[in-house]
Chains A and B, each alone.
Chain A
């Protein structure tokens, strides 16, 4: 299960999404989305959320695979 929420960030020119895998906090990632691009319609929150979920899922897969490999040593 990957949860996406908005978080605070350094610049008001961006909004910040954070994706967290409930069983793998090491895969947590943030995606900063330019407000100007959102206003212009060149990117959408839905697409950005989907991209973040995919990135977190990939990081989670990599991390769990690494842990499993370590167990086999």
Chain B
């Protein structure tokens, strides 16, 4: 290029000449810039002659071209969230993309006719931060049934007080921003039986006025028993051994108790806890694990 400083110029013409040369320079650079991607070995976004764009290998989405490319770029929102999972590569550590703060977030209780799932307050840790979820509950459910618990969150998740939902259909777990908490089998229906007799013996043997429906290993709360039975047993939970449709024993030495007179009830305590962790792909032995979709 000619060195302008070595050319003698008439007085007053230099500013005009410099302005003209700068204009030419801008026009040349503009042409170079438009084709730079091709010149550099197909490393980026190429603007085609018809005005469409083509992504080259350097963009990581090689081969996508034409009018679809702007759509792809637009699908990645300003908050970093892609429109759907096909547009992002999974990021995980130790085969998890998130970890819950506890493996027993879910517990269940049942009455004679319905169950409630209680969700404890907990956190979910991602690689980008930790999200806190408030406690909640789901009621009116069926006893002794496998449920999957989820909540809808924002995308990316922000937690807080969310509405938890229980479903038996795994397909319901998949939705944008849906947070899968975990699965639980609701507690069996609670049942009560009136006590008809009790022995002052070791172990104490009870009979009930009707079939109790319990099985050995169930936990039963005793209440309203008379005398020494009441003093020592009322309000306590005992694991029962079923000896008949209307009979059971508890491992307590009642040989010193005054004789049973009448009254009392036994109520099967009905609770259950979560079997495995929810959030985090590959975690916890939970049948349906996977997820926390950002």
Q: Is the CB of B134 within 8 A of A34?
A: no
Interface size bucket, A side? Answer: 20 to 34
Q: Is the interface of A mostly helix, strand, loop or mixed?
A: mixed
Is residue B140 contacting chain A, with contact meaning CB distance below 8 A?
yes
Scoring B residues 112 to 140 as 1 if CB is less than 8 Å from chain A, else 0, what string do you get?
01101000000000000000001111111
Is residue B167 contacting chain A, with contact meaning CB distance below 8 A?
yes
For chain A residues 9-29, which have a beta carbon within 8 Å of chain B?
9-11, 13-14, 16, 18, 28-29
Chain B residues, CB < 8 A from A51: 116, 137, 139
Given contacts A10-B151, A11-B165, contact A29 B136 (CB under 8 A): yes
Q: How far is the CB of B108 from chain A (nearest CB, A)?
A: 14
Is residue A7 contacting chain B, with contact meaning CB distance below 8 A?
yes
Chain A residues, CB < 8 A from B139: 31-34, 37, 43, 48, 51
Given contacts A28-B161, A32-B165, A37-B114, contact A10 B140 (CB under 8 A): no
Q: Total contacts A to B, CB within 8 angstroms? A: 79
Q: Is the interface of B mostly helix, strand, loop or mixed?
A: strand
Chain A residues, CB < 8 A from B150: 10
Q: How far is the CB of B162 from chain A (nearest CB, A)?
A: 7
Is residue A4 contacting chain B, with contact meaning CB distance below 8 A?
no
Given contacts A9-B163, A10-B178, A16-B163, contact A43 B135 (CB under 8 A): no
Scoring A residues 35 to 66 as 1 if CB is less than 8 Å from chain B, else 0, what string do you get?
11110001100001001100100010000000
Closest chain B residue, CB of each to CB of A58: B135
Q: How far is the CB of A19 from chain B (nearest CB, A)?
A: 9
Q: How far is the CB of B4 from chain A (nearest CB, A)?
A: 71
Which residues of B pack against A, CB within 8 Å? 113-114, 116, 134-141, 150-152, 161-167, 172, 175, 178
Those 5 A-B pairs whose CB atoms lie nearest each other, nearest first: A37-B140, A34-B140, A9-B163, A10-B152, A28-B161
11 A–B contacts from the bound complex (CB under 8 Å):
A14-B163, A16-B163, A30-B137, A30-B162, A32-B137, A33-B140, A34-B139, A35-B140, A37-B141, A42-B113, A42-B140
